[in-house]
Amino acid sequence: MVYLKTEEEIDLIRESSLLVGKTLAEVAKLVEPGVTPLELDQVAETYIKDHGGVPGFKGYNGFPNTLCTSVNKQVVHGIPSNKPLQNGDIISIDCGVLLNEFFGDVAYTFEVGDVSDEIKALLSVTKESLQDGIDAAVAGNRIGDIGFAVQQKAEKHGYGVVRELVGHGLGKNLHESPEVPNYGKRGSGMKLKEGLVLAIEPMINLGKRNVKQDQDGWTIVTADGLPSAHFEHDIVVRKGKAEVLSTHKWIEEVLNKKEKVK
Ligand code: MG
Ligand code: MG
């Protein structure tokens, strides 16, 4: 069932989403060659708990950690490992928080040290495709318009759009109806109404769109072994323009500062 939120509920989801953004900014400070995903996971867990939240992923269907950390060919749902990140890697970090009974769910793909121009382009187009999806998420449009917008942007650049995993409604549950695919036909699917809160999260592959599950039972990897990017925002459908409840602002402030020091 699709559940439209009241303004009070939207305020609470915004708070949860912002806490995820702040958590990822703390993590961003530490992303560099030599750090392990498990170290990042510890920092995130402590930060969330210190701010009154509960890690939203830990224990969810048995997932063991606070962060999903997906390196290079790993698309999503990577389990934080103790293998140090290397210069030139990318790491997609997805984080969920439960605060005041509502979830926030945000993802960002980070560069580790110096990455190739090819990968920089993948990250910036994936971020743009997320923005295009958000721009399409207005009252009166349909779910398919979001996926259409994301797919158009990604495929125009020759990238593969992952189909097996999708965005979703968000609220008292981490995953609510409806599903929000990152591909679709214009004007298809459920009509978007004001108060519908969605997590929009394109997963875009440098190569082909096909993915498979790793032997650990969690991690999704690209079938061709090429890198994949993942960015996610939580939004509420409004008239004329969606409101973005989450923010990447604090993450990017940290990244810009690091860039200046280089
Ligand atoms: Mg997520
Ligand atoms: Mg999500």
Q: How far apart, in whole angstroms, are the C-alpha atoms of residue 155 and residue 247? A: 25
How many Å lie between the centroid of ligand 2 and the Cα of residue 213? 18
How many Å lie between the centroid of ligand 2 and the Cα of residue 168? 6
Q: Which two tokens stand for residue 104?
A: 């926030």
pTM above 0.85, yes or no: yes
Can you give the pLDDT at residue 1?
Answer: 85
How many Å lie between the centroid of ligand 2 and the Cα of residue 200? 7
- Average pLDDT (67-79) is 98
How many Å lie between the centroid of ligand 1 and the Cα of residue 105? 5
How many Å lie between the centroid of ligand 1 and the Cα of residue 106? 5
- Please give the domain boundaries of the chain with CATH numbers for all domains: 7-261 (3.90.230.10)
Q: What is the DSSP string of 13-35?
A: HHHHHHHHHHHHHHHHTT-STT-
How many Å lie between the centroid of ligand 1 and the Cα of residue 184? 20
Q: Convert the pLDDT of each residue in 117-152 to its tens digit.
A: 999 999 999 999 999 999 999 999 999 999 999 999
Has residue 259 got a pLDDT over 90?
Answer: no
How many Å lie between the centroid of ligand 1 and the Cα of residue 71? 15
- Average pLDDT (172-186) is 98
What residue ranges in the chain does DSSP mark as E strands? 54-55, 67-71, 74-76, 90-99, 102-111, 160-161, 167-169, 176-180, 197-200, 203-205, 211-213, 220-222, 228-230, 233-236, 243-244
